[in-house]
Amino acid sequence: MGFSGLAPELINGRAAMIGIVVALANEAKTGESIFAQSVSGGAAQALAVIAVVTLASFAPAFRAPLDAVFNKVAPKQLKEFGPFTAGAEMLNGRLAMAGLGLMLFFEGASPYAFFMN
């Protein structure tokens, strides 16, 4: 599979969607920046989330080919429900990755949590 292609972007997007929600919730609860959270045990939790998301993303591959698992089949064969589409998941994952990057940038330039100013 390698580092290019659809699967790594999906996995990173899924982990980023969980990560930004957890980071924002902890920031609102404790007032700590994302850097302070990572020092106080958040880095280990982030690695655990990435491992679980990666395993969960490959779990359907035991029952179906990888192409079907990572939405490379023809669009008419995909089962989509309302707003839960492959395109929406990809867009939300990209936005979450960008949000985490911006959060790291802005909190790195300031000694305070971004949303607690």
113 touches 31 (CB < 8 A): yes
CB count in 10 Å sphere of residue 91:
12
Per-residue pLDDT of the chain (117 residues; tens, 9 = 90+): 455 555 788 888 888 898 889 888 888 888 888 888 888 887 888 888 888 888 887 776 666 666 665 655 554 555 677 787 878 888 999 999 999 888 888 888 777 777 765
| Alpha carbon 45 to chain centroid, angstroms | 13
Alpha-carbon torsion, ordered 40, 8, 102, 104, to 10 deg:
20
